[in-house]
Structure 1
Amino acid sequence: MPTTPQRQAIVAVILRADRVLAVRRGPGVVRPGYWQPLSGKIEPGESQQEAVIREVREEVGLTVVPLAKVWESETDDGTFRLHWWTAKADAGEVVPDPREVAETRWVTAEQFLRLDPVFEGDREFFERILPEL
């Protein structure tokens, strides 16, 4: 039986001062209600940086500058390979797309770890990777 190739997605760790933008998944997406950094699929022919810029603009209306790829992981079901990018959003109002984003908060790593529910891979990022950046 042929295995489906892993799909590629980005995770945008949007930084403003000492905070990261956390979003609660909206009703129009798989597994609504989870808190996470913003994420989305990479479209055919699109670079990871282009996907970060587009997804952030579509989901929360911010213009970001991708800084660096800082980690790779996969979703707990193995469907997606996640490319984690830091991105800077110094200005602008967060305007969530209500289908995709139910709620947003600027949080520290400690505050993110107190949100519930969160995905295990996101917890690992906030515990292990983010403090080293």
Structure 2
Amino acid sequence: MDRIPPATYEEARARTDRIHAGFAEIRQLQALLPPQPKRQETDERSVYFIQADNGLIKIGVSDSPKNRLRTLQTMSPVALRLVLVLPGRGARGESELHARFAEHRSHGEWFHPAPELISFIQEQK
């Protein structure tokens, strides 16, 4: 859209009023739309378990755990492997697992390979 300087204050005011009216119309139309679902309610991402050669296990969430593994591997000084994927658990499932294994947390989303965690992974396979 070309910018043409308004000839007068009245013309500038009229343009501004038209713009504001357009925004008001947009807000009215948006109010007619159904509300957007919250991500947590529709989060169908997978919870993944990635184990490092040093034993630590990362519990994370991703749309594509295999791609996430590749990304993490480029930043890791040790080899990583994808040991388990739980489809459709989303961020809520990840949070629940972080809480369940909190006493074994090393740092961030990385956990020590405690017997309870290893057993959980084996049972889910």
User: Is the shorter-chain TM-score for this pair beyond 0.5, marking a shared fold?
Assistant: no
Which protein has the bigger helix share? Answer: 2
TM-score by length of 1: 0.33
Larger Rg: 2
TM-score by length of 2: 0.34
Q: Relative CO higher for 1 or 2, CA cutoff 8 Å, sep ≥ 6?
A: 1
